[in-house]
Amino acid sequence: MVVNATVDAAVFFLLLGAAVLGVTAADTGESAAAVDGDRPDAVGTVLATSTATVNYSLAPGARRANSEEADGVSGVRFERTAGPEFERTTHGSLAGLLARAAVGTAGFDDAPVTHARDDLRAAVRGAVASRISTVGLRVDAVWRPYPGAPVGGRVAVGDSPPDDEAVDAATLTVPTGAEPLSPRETRDFASLSGAVADRTVDVLAPAGRMRLALRDDAPVSTFARYRYARLAAELNVSVTGAVADADTRAANRRLASAFASRVESDLRARYDSPEAAAAAVSASEVRVVVRAWDAGRRGNDADATDDGRTPEGGR
């Protein structure tokens, strides 16, 4: 199952990419809350077809950036860290919002590149939890360019299933906007690694939108410079000149080149052939996995009111 995520036009420097434009899902309203929490397929349908509007703030990211600048980490400072210019509202399918939060909070070694989308992640979790019962249910939205990659993002809603429970699962995918691999990019490990690195950087910092962001007013331009500064620090490369010129394609090429050798080392260690490695690459999509176990039925039965609704409004 594939669902398209909408674009948050207000903050385009962290978008998923042009390919994710246009939500086709309709808001199912109250019926979303009525889904039985132990039916992963039904919950997956709710995530794909129900929409929500969430409000969030970029201010925590600005405050974190200034803290890092004071410690000599980022070299980027926000003149202001609060105000209406930091407030955002976005709308989309629940699956699309989960994907956006997973990508927006992605980073290296489980640490976000920036914290600009921390509040979005919390708001999306709340929106999903308000639509489905999470008793005996877990939803994970995961973006990772390949299994075991050092970079990725995850948003989870609900508790992890117990080790001794049988678990049912359903999976849907949301495109990130990164292009699928072409045959010529999978002929050898070097070509494949370069392609994966290119797409990873493009998801983390879409060149077209970052260029517009760098030319915008603060705080948008400051967030863009901060994001590039953090990526450059993670990959031990300088993109200062390219960022100053708003030459985001050049900046992204330098970042991808620095990352490619690490990707190649990983893929060679994990896979016997470029073809096998290419089959495992998933930079172009976020996987949303719904897992359910028997506690969902027991929890729903125990918590239901006389009319069949849980105290939270689910069924």
Percent of the residues in the chain that have a pLDDT greater than 90, as a whole number? 75
What pTM value is reported for the model?
A: 0.83
pLDDT tier for residue 151 given thresholds of 50, 70 and 90: very high
Long-range Cβ pairs for the range 82-88 (8 Å, 24+): 83/59, 85/218, 85/219, 86/57, 86/58, 86/59, 86/62, 86/219, 87/55, 87/56, 87/57, 87/58, 88/8, 88/10, 88/11, 88/55, 88/56, 88/57, 88/58, 88/120
221 versus 39: the higher-pLDDT residue is 221
Work out the pLDDT band at 165, boundaries 50, 70, 90.
Answer: confident
Domain locations in the chain? 9-303
pLDDT tens digits along 175-196 = 999 999 999 999 999 999 999 9
pLDDT exceeds cutoff 60 at 314: no
Contact 62, 219 (CB under 8 A): yes
Select the more confidently predicted residue: 67 or 10. 67
Indicate the pairing of strand 137-143 with strand 111-112.
unpaired
| Residue 303: strand, helix, or coil | helix
